[in-house]
Structure 1
Amino acid sequence: MAENKIFAGPRVRRIRNGLQLTQTAMAEALGISPSYLNLIERNQRPLTVQLLLKLSSVYKVDLDELQGESGGGLAQLREVFADPLLAGELPGDQELIEIAEAAPNASGGIVKLYRAYREQASRLKDLADLLAGQGHMAALSGTRLPIDEMREAFESRPNHFARIEEAMEAFHAALSPGDDLTGALKAWLKKEHGLVVRTLPVHAMPNLRRRFDRHSMRLFISERLSPFDQTREIAMEVASIACHQAIDAELEHFRFSTAEARRIGRFELARYAAHALMMPYQAFLAAAQRAKYDIDILRSRFQVSFEQAANRLTMLQRPGAAGIPFFLMEIDNAGHRLRRAGALGFPGARFGGACPKLNIHAAFAVPGQVLVDRVEMPEGSEYLVVSRTLDGPRAGFQERVRRTALLIGCDAGFSEEVVYGASRMPPIPVGAACRLCERQGCLARAEPPVTRPLGLDEMATGLSVFDFQ
C-alpha cells in the first residue's frame, strides 16, 4: 500500500527552531541522516507516515499542525490578493501557500499592511465626502477601476439623457407596439435586421443573461430571467441598433479615460434607452402623476418590474415637463453598493445612503414588502424613502437566490404629491454614514466619526463602543 506523502518542510523547520535544535540533533532523534532532514526542510523530500508518527512521539507535535494547511494565514492572504489591485498578480494559490508556510510572520505583516491600507482608504473617502458636503473639492485620488469611473460619472449628474429620450420616443411612436411590446420588438428585429430572438434553457446558457450570435443572427435570452427582464434585454438590443447615434453622442460627454470604462458606460446608456423604450416619457410621466407615483400601479400599467418602474421615476427631468426628482440606490444583503442614481444626481453629500437605520437594510427581513419611512438628516433636511427587495435571475434547485434591495426617495417636501407620503409618521433621525455622523447615543452606530476623538472612559460607558467626545 502506498504511503501518504506530505511536504511540510517550513513547518518542520519552525518546530526545530522553536526547540532550539540543530539539524544533526533532530535527525539523530528521528533516526534519519542530517542531509535527509535538510532535504525535508527544503521540501525536496516528503514527510512519510512513519516520520509523522516519530515527530509526534518524540516532540509531542500535533499531527494536524503538520498535515493541515496554514488555514487562517492562507485565508487572510487570499483575501488580500482578491483585491482588484492585486487580483492579476498570482495565477493560483501555490505561491500563497508557500508564503503562508515558509514565512508566517511575514504573511501576517502583509495582512496587517493591507488592512491598514484599506482603513486609510476608507478614512480618505470619508474625509472627501465630508469636505464635499461643505462645498470643497478634495484632491484625494486613488487607483480607480473602470467600473468606479463609470459609477462616479453617472452618479454625479442628473439621470436624464435628452437625446436618448427623444430618439426612443420617436422610435416607439413609429413602432406602435400596442399591448405587445415584446412581440413588436422581436418582429422589428426579424424584419429589419434578420435577427431572431430565442429563449434558451439554463443548461444551454448557464452563465449568461443574453448572447448575440453574429454568424446565425440570433439573439439568445436566458430562461432564468423574468418576462420583464427578458423584454429589457431585447429592448437593449433594439436600442443599441436604432439609437446608437444618440447613445454615442451622450457617451462623448463623459470623456472616460479607458476603453473599458467607455464600454461599461455604453452598456448603461443602452439600459437607460431600454427603459425609455418600455416606458415612453410623456405617457409614463402622465400615468405617474395620476397614480401619485405609486410604483406598483405603474409596473402593472406598463408591464414592467418594480425595479424598472422605480428606475424610470429617476429619469423624469425633461425641461418644462419634469416629475418629482427621485433618487435611488441598490445594495445586496452584505451592504455592497450596486447602483446609485438621481434625478439631480445622487445626493451623496447630504443623504449619503450608508446609515444602518435606513429601511433598505430592514427590507431583507420582509422580502417583497414595501417599507416607507420619513428620515431626518443631522442638519435638518428630511427625505421620504421607500424600500423593497428585488429578486435576481431565477435560481435552480440548490442554488442560492440572489436578492438585493432598492431604496427610492425624494425630498420630504413632495410628500403630498406622493402616495407614500400620506401617513404623517415622525421622522427617523439618520446620518449620511457613521464616519460622518455626530449623533450621540446611536444604537446603530458601527464606526466612530472621523471628526471627533473617541471618548473612552473607564468610569462610564455609553450605548455604543464607539462613544466619542
Structure 2
Amino acid sequence: MAETKIFAGPRVRRIRNGLSLTQTAMAEALAISPSYLNLIERNQRPLTVQLLLKLSSVYKVDLDELQGETSGSAAQLREVFADPLLAGELPGDQELIEVAEAAPNVASGILKLYRAYREQSLRLKDLTGLLSQEGHGAALSETRLPMDGVRDLFETQPSYFAGLDAAAEAFHARLSPADDLLTALREWLRREHGLAVRTLPIHAMPNLRRRYDRHSMRLFLSERLSPEEQLREIAMEASALAFPDVFTQTLDDMPLSGGEARRIARFELARYAAHALMMPYGVFHAAALRARYDVDLLRARFRVSFEQAASRLTTLQRPDMAGIPFFMMEIDNAGHRLRRGGAQGFPQARFGGQCPKLAVHSAFTQPGQVLVDRVEMPGGAIFLTVARTLEGPQAGFQERVRRTALLLGCDSAHAGETVYGDGASPPVPVGTACRLCDRQGCLSRAEPPVTRPLGLDEMVTGLSVFDFQ
C-alpha cells in the first residue's frame, strides 16, 4: 500500500519558527537529518505518515494544520485577482495556491488591502453620485489648476535658490543699510528708478495689500500691513528691479507649464528673494547658530516677523554653510493648508502634517504662544515641532481677524542644536493623516482609515465611532 505524501514545507517552517527552533534541533527531535528537514521545508521532499505522527506527538501539532487545504485563502485571492485591474496578471491559479501555502500572512495582507481599496472605491462612487445630484456633474475634470502645480513644485523641492540668495546678499552689501533697511530701500527705489513708496489708508485701498502704479511711478502699500509686512513688500519690488535676470534664469530652470504658472511662481520667488534681502544668508546663518535657532530672538535681531524668520530658517541649505533642515506648514483655523515647504522639501510621506493632535491646531486657543512638542510617527520617526499663531493684516472694528498658525519642524536628531529641544516632553503619538493612520483607540480620530476594515460591533463601543479591526 502506497504511503500518502504531503508537501507542506512552509507550514513545517512556520511551526519551527514559532517554537524558535533551529533546523538542527527539530531534525534531532524528529530523528531525521538537518539536510532532510531542509528539503522538506523547501517542498523538495514530502511529509510521510510517520513524520506526521512524529510531529504530532513531539510538538503537539494538530494534524489538520499540516494536512488542511488552503482553499479558503486561495478562493479569496482568486476573487481579488479577478478584479479587472489585475485580471491579466496570472495565467492560472497555481501561483495563488503557492502564495496561500507559503506566505499566509502576505495573503491576508493582500486581502485586507483589497477590501480597503473596494471600500474607498465605493465611497468615491457615492461622492460622485452626490455631486451629480447637486448639479456639479459626474464628469469632474482631472485638469489641475496652475496654482496646484506651482504649489506642488515648491513643496516637493528644497526651499533654496542659490542664484537668488547670492544676488540678494550682494545687493544688501551694496546698500549698506546698517540697521535701517527700510529707509535704504526707499532711497534706492527713488534714486535708481524714480519710484516713490506711499502708505494709503484702508478706505483708499480696501481690498489690496499693495499696488504698483507704473504711470505715476508710485508703490502704494495698505496701512493694514504691519511694518514687517510693508518691508517685505518693498523688498520684493526692489529685488525684482535689482536683479531681474536672476529671476528669469531661476524661472527658466523650473518645470512650469504656461504663463499663469510662471506668474505665480515669480511671486513666490519674489517672496523668497525679499526674505534673502531682509536676512542675508551669511549673517542670518551665523545669528541662527548663536541663538540656537530661537525664532523670537532672530525676529528681534533682524526686525522681521515670526513668520518671516521661521520661513527663512527653512532655506538654510547652502552647501558650505547649511543649517538644520527645517520644514514648515501654515494652516487656517479650519485646517486648510495654505502653504508648505522645507529645506529638503516638505516631508509629506514621513510627517504628513494632517494629524489633529499636532500642536499647530491647538495654537489657535493660545494666540501668540509658542508651543513645542516632540511627535512620534507610527513608523517610529520622531520630529521636534514648534507652533505659533500668526496675525494677518489689521482688521477694522466690524471685520473678522484673519489668524493662521505656523508649524516649524525638524527631525528630532537635531533637537539638541535648538533652544526648543531643551527639556522636551515625551513624544506625542501622531499619524500622517487619519485616513492613513492605524493607531487604535485614538481620541482625536476624525476619519476611518482606508487601510483597515471597520470593526463595527453592536455589543462593543470603542473610543471612536471609527473603530477598526
Same fold (TM over 0.5): yes
Matched, 1:371 2:371: yes
Q: Secondary structure at the match of 1:298?
A: helix
Structure 1 residue 116 displacement after superposition = 9.1
Q: Secondary structure at the match of 2:211?
A: strand
Correspondence for 1:129: none
Report Cα offsets for 1:175-216 as digits up to 9, x if no partner. 101111000000000000000000011011111111010110
Correspondence for 2:233: 233
Structure 1 residue 292 displacement after superposition = 0.3
Worse overlay, 268-277 or 453-462: 453-462
Q: Secondary structure at the match of 1:339?
A: strand
Structure 1 residue 425 displacement after superposition = 0.8
Structure 1 residue 117 displacement after superposition = 8.9
Correspondence for 2:214: 214
Correspondence for 1:248: 248
Correspondence for 1:320: 320
For 1:143 and 1:357, locate their aligned partners in 2 and report how far apart those are by CA, in whole Å.
Answer: 33
Report Cα offsets for 1:345-402 as digits up to 9, x if no partner. 0000110000000000000000000000000000000000000000100001100000
What is the letter of the counterpart of residue 303 of structure 2?
A: Q
Correspondence for 1:49: none
Contact 2:168 2:273 in 1 (8 A): yes
Q: Structure 2: where are the runs of 5+ without partners? A: 1-128
Gap change, CA 1:449 and 1:223, over 3 Å in 2:
same
Report Cα offsets for 1:256-277 as digits up to 9, x if no partner. 1121111000000000000000
Matched, 1:445 2:467: no
Correspondence for 1:71: none
Correspondence for 2:183: 183
Q: Residues 350-429 of structure 1 correspond to what in structure 2 (within 5 A)?
A: 350-429=350-429
Report Cα offsets for 1:63-84 as digits up to 9, x if no partner. xxxxxxxxxxxxxxxxxxxxxx
Gap change, CA 1:256 and 1:421, over 3 Å in 2:
same
Q: Secondary structure at the match of 1:289?
A: helix
Correspondence for 2:433: 433
Correspondence for 2:33: none
Correspondence for 1:273: 273
Structure 1 residue 253 displacement after superposition = 2.1
For 2:177 and 2:276, locate their aligned partners in 1 and report how far apart those are by CA, in whole Å.
Answer: 14
Structure 1 residue 112 displacement after superposition = 5.8
Q: Secondary structure at the match of 2:269?
A: helix
Correspondence for 2:146: 146
Contact 2:441 2:462 in 1 (8 A): yes
For 1:348 and 1:116, locate their aligned partners in 2 and report how far apart those are by CA, in whole Å.
Answer: 30
Structure 1 residue 145 displacement after superposition = 1.1
Report Cα offsets for 1:88-114 as digits up to 9, x if no partner. xxxxxxxxxxxxxxxxxxx97734685
Q: Secondary structure at the match of 1:446?
A: coil
Worse overlay, 243-252 or 321-330: 243-252
Report Cα offsets for 1:39-85 as digits up to 9, x if no partner. xxxxxxxxxxxxxxxxxxxxxxxxxxxxxxxxxxxxxxxxxxxxxxx
For 1:313 and 1:245, locate their aligned partners in 2 and report how far apart those are by CA, in whole Å.
Answer: 25
Gap change, CA 1:116 and 1:185, over 3 Å in 2:
same
Q: Structure 1: where are the runs of 5+ without partners? A: 1-106, 119-140
For 1:388 and 1:359, locate their aligned partners in 2 and report how far apart those are by CA, in whole Å.
Answer: 9
For 1:255 and 1:367, locate their aligned partners in 2 and report how far apart those are by CA, in whole Å.
Answer: 39
Matched, 1:110 2:170: no
For 1:454 and 1:266, locate their aligned partners in 2 and report how far apart those are by CA, in whole Å.
Answer: 46
Q: Secondary structure at the match of 1:238?
A: helix
Q: Residues 6-21 of structure 1 correspond to what in structure 2 (within 5 A)?
A: none
Correspondence for 1:309: 309
Equivalent residue pairs, number:
341
Contact 2:330 2:407 in 1 (8 A): yes
Contact 2:373 2:424 in 1 (8 A): no
Contact 2:132 2:138 in 1 (8 A): no
Contact 2:163 2:250 in 1 (8 A): yes
Structure 1 residue 468 displacement after superposition = 1.1
Task: Provide the TM-score with structure 1 as the length reference.
Answer: 0.71
For 1:328 and 1:169, locate their aligned partners in 2 and report how far apart those are by CA, in whole Å.
Answer: 23
What is the letter of the counterpart of residue 307 of structure 1?
A: E
What is the letter of the counterpart of residue 450 of structure 1?
A: V
Task: Provide the TM-score with structure 2 as the length reference.
Answer: 0.71
Correspondence for 1:341: 341
Q: Secondary structure at the match of 1:151?
A: helix
Correspondence for 1:21: none
Report Cα offsets for 1:384-443 as digits up to 9, x if no partner. 000000010000110000000000000001111000010131000000000110101111
What is the letter of the counterpart of residue 455 of structure 1?
A: G
Report Cα offsets for 1:101-149 as digits up to 9, x if no partner. xxxxxx977346859999xxxxxxxxxxxxxxxxxxxxxx932111111
Structure 1 residue 248 displacement after superposition = 1.3
Structure 1 residue 255 displacement after superposition = 2.2
Gap change, CA 1:398 and 1:115, over 3 Å in 2:
farther
Correspondence for 1:84: none
Q: Secondary structure at the match of 2:207?
A: coil
What is the letter of the counterpart of residue 253 of structure 2?
A: H
For 2:455 and 2:142, locate their aligned partners in 1 and report how far apart those are by CA, in whole Å.
Answer: 31
Contact 2:163 2:246 in 1 (8 A): yes
What is the letter of the counterpart of residue 368 of structure 1?
A: G
Correspondence for 1:5: none
What is the letter of the counterpart of residue 175 of structure 2?
A: L
Q: Secondary structure at the match of 2:375?
A: strand
For 2:219 and 2:415, locate their aligned partners in 1 and report how far apart those are by CA, in whole Å.
Answer: 43
What is the letter of the counterpart of residue 244 of structure 1?
A: P
For 2:313 and 2:351, locate their aligned partners in 1 and report how far apart those are by CA, in whole Å.
Answer: 18
Q: Secondary structure at the match of 2:390?
A: strand
Q: CA RMSD in A?
A: 1.7
Structure 1 residue 342 displacement after superposition = 0.3
Contact 2:131 2:137 in 1 (8 A): no
For 2:243 and 2:409, locate their aligned partners in 1 and report how far apart those are by CA, in whole Å.
Answer: 30
Q: Secondary structure at the match of 1:387?
A: strand
Q: Residues 155-174 of structure 1 correspond to what in structure 2 (within 5 A)?
A: 155-174=155-174
